[in-house]
Amino acid sequence: MTNGTILNSKLFRIFFICAFFLVVATFSKSAVAQEKAPQGSEKKFDPQPLIMEHIGDSHFWPMAIPLVEEKLLPLPVILYTDKGLEVFSSGHLKDGATYQGNYYTYKLEENHIKVVEADGKISETIKPLDFSITRNTISMMVSLAIIMIVFLSVAASYRKRPGKAPKGLQSFMEPLVLFVRDDIALPNLGVKYTRYMPLLLTIFFFILLNNVLGIVPFFPGGYNLTGNIAITGVLAVIILLVVNFSANKHYWKHIFMPNPWWLFPIMIPVEIVSVFSKPIALMIRLFANITAGHIVGLSLICLIFIFRSFAISPVSVIFVTFMDCIELLVAFLQAYIFTLLSALFIGMAIQEHH
């Protein structure tokens, strides 16, 4: 494909437009604030808070609209203290404000709710358990709702048109489902693949959807769900439990009775470590790749505001467009790799002795 063909392709133009509006949406608040600031009082632009705010969790749901100051939607705060349960809105903690609850006074510091003592200092002894509905929690609910709506509608299409060629959304989803079955489940699980297909399909589409939503400009919440190590950690724990509860006697014999016997002192600790290192590798790989993509993309956008030059703007937007294309590839690739390795680990645990 020639350079002219690439530049004129619809895909390139779509990503270029997305990258441009991503720049506008991300920095609309900063631009408005600079216009209102008195002359000579402008501060040097610091990209770190912006990037860390995007890739981290929050007690507020950002609703960014181009060229309009960013608005934060407060979310419910649910705390369990030694005196009981506290429930209130995070709006009371906005802009560093303190809130007097039923039992303690609370303050939000670095996205963590802490107890404030009577002298105004943060308490080091009282640390409430935080069960709040945060941005990542809402993001997960949104993605699960989308998955349920899509698959329920596809299932209804199969019931209404049995034995007929797929149509509409059904024709888009069927190749992906067959891909998971034929290229991931069957080669690694063999004849027992049907038992684990619901798990593999759920993991594949959950990761894929959240990866894609993370690169869609203007999507509410500054999506970075799969870039949160807590989320990838839970997925890894699920695989750890499935692998070990599905394992047969040959799997455990390979761990605790390696051959030859005189390697017991060396091989048994190594095999036990490998049981936990496999899901840990799944957790870190997904988290690191998605987070790195977001950081690189936002860093390229920040170049515009660091150099404050019109010459840098088109270069930055072009590079962000390129990164969007790479991130789209990574979104599919990471969903595939996580599901493939999960199927491989399960297959190693259930395979019969030869």
> Which tens digit of pLDDT belongs to each residue from 68-127?
455 778 889 999 988 889 999 888 888 888 888 888 889 988 888 999 888 888 888 888
Percentage of the chain surpassing pLDDT 70?
A: 83
Helices and strands per DSSP (H, E), number in the chain: 12, 8
> Taking a C-beta distance cutoff of 8 angstroms, is the pair 52, 42 a contact?
no
Per DSSP, the three-state class of 56 is coil
Q: By three-state DSSP, how is residue 73 classified?
A: strand
Local confidence band at 34 (pLDDT 50, 70, 90 cut-offs)? very low
The encoded tokens of residue 137 equal 């929690």
Residue 212 · residue 224 · CB < 8 Å:
no
CB 76 within 8 A of CB 93: no
- What DSSP assignment string belongs to 77-129? EEEEETTEEEEEEGGGGGGG-EEE-SS-EEEEETTEEEEE-TTSPBPSS---E
Per the confidence metrics, is the pTM higher than 0.85? no
